[in-house]
Amino acid sequence: MARRHAPGPDHLAAVLTGAQVRAVDRRGKYLWLVVRPDPGAEELWAHERAGADDPASGEVALIVHLGMSGQMLVQAADMPEPTHTHGVFPLVGEGGVESGAQLRFVDQRTFGGFALSGLTGAQAGHPHGIPVTIGHIAPDPLEPAFDLEAVVARMRRSASGIKRVLLNQNVISGIGNIYADESLWRARLHGERPASTLTAPAVRRLLEHAHEVLVESLAQGGTSFDALYVNVNGQSGYFSRSLDAYGQEGRPCRRCGRLIRREQFMNRSSYSCPGCQSRPRALSHHA
């Protein structure tokens, strides 16, 4: 779990021992705990503060990425550890009172992980700043910092397929393969349409649909295909029941009745409706 933390797992554990959790924040698919390490551990994490604002605040970010199968679970210490538990953090309450609870990081495919980083650039919605090492990640559509018109302009400058651009976390974050396909279905766009050939209103509509998809999915607890996808209390989400395109190959499109198709895309799959989401003309004859 400390693979992306260069100084290694022992260092991570040393800095976090006795650290105080001050806040929890997120951007796109990254989440982080704002922690204040024990003053006695100050030398240990001095290098994490490089590039950070106001190092005197004593705060550092514990960045977490769940990859595709990672879970952050808060469970009673006497509950058996799930298979693939890679990290256990005993939680202590105010005044050092034992809480009997543990934060556990569980990950089957080990694409997820933890890393420490300094914080910089406090802004609306992120009063403690953003971790330095994820400075390249663009705001997601649910953040105050998200600038719709700037993203529309940025996307339209790319000659790449619109889905590829939608998945580029440096342009807009928080959208993965599932929500990209759902957003494109709602916007009636094929993912291989070059972004630069779309009008500004078309891209704007796509982003508005993406925003809707994220809000609706969150309201249902996310998209759970199996027990891998759960919240901090181990509960599944129900958005998979609302999917119109992703994973629906061979089923009729809810809008037009044509059968949803599956196509190869970047060594994975894209799902779309052949009726509502026509392939770009220049590519049609290859289909």
Partner DNA sequence: GAATCTTCCTGGGCGC
Partner DNA sequence: TGCGCCCAGGAAGATT
> Would you tell me which residues interact with DNA (CB under 7 A)?
4, 28-30, 65, 67-69, 84, 108-111, 134, 136-137, 158-161, 164, 167, 169, 173, 176-178, 246, 266-269
Q: Which is nearer to DNA, 16 or 167 (CB)?
A: 167
Which residue in this structure is represented by tokens 């018109």? 149
**Smallest distance, DNA to C-beta of residue 22, A:** 23
Q: Where would I find the H helices in 7-160?
A: 9-16, 148-156
DSSP letter for each residue of 209-229: HHHHHHHHHHHTT-B-SSTTS
Residue 70 exposed, middle or buried by CB count within 10 Å (0-12, 13-18, 19+) = buried
Q: Which is nearer to DNA, 164 or 254 (CB)?
A: 164
Q: Which is nearer to DNA, 69 or 278 (CB)?
A: 69
Q: Which is nearer to DNA, 37 or 237 (CB)?
A: 237
d(CA 166, CA 203): 10
Q: Which is nearer to DNA, 177 or 277 (CB)?
A: 177
Which residue in this structure is represented by tokens 């649910």? 142
DSSP letter for 123, please.
Answer: B
d(CA 245, CA 249): 8
Q: How far is CA 191 from CA 164, 206, 245, 269, in A?
A: 7, 11, 12, 11
**Smallest distance, DNA to C-beta of residue 67, A:** 5
**Smallest distance, DNA to C-beta of residue 92, A:** 30
Q: Which is nearer to DNA, 45 or 246 (CB)?
A: 246
Whether residue 85 contacts residue 105, with contact meaning beta carbons closer than 8 Å, is answered with yes
**Smallest distance, DNA to C-beta of residue 42, A:** 26
**Smallest distance, DNA to C-beta of residue 263, A:** 10
**Smallest distance, DNA to C-beta of residue 169, A:** 4
Q: How many residues does the chain have?
A: 287
Q: How far is CA 133 from CA 13, 115, 254, in A?
A: 19, 9, 42
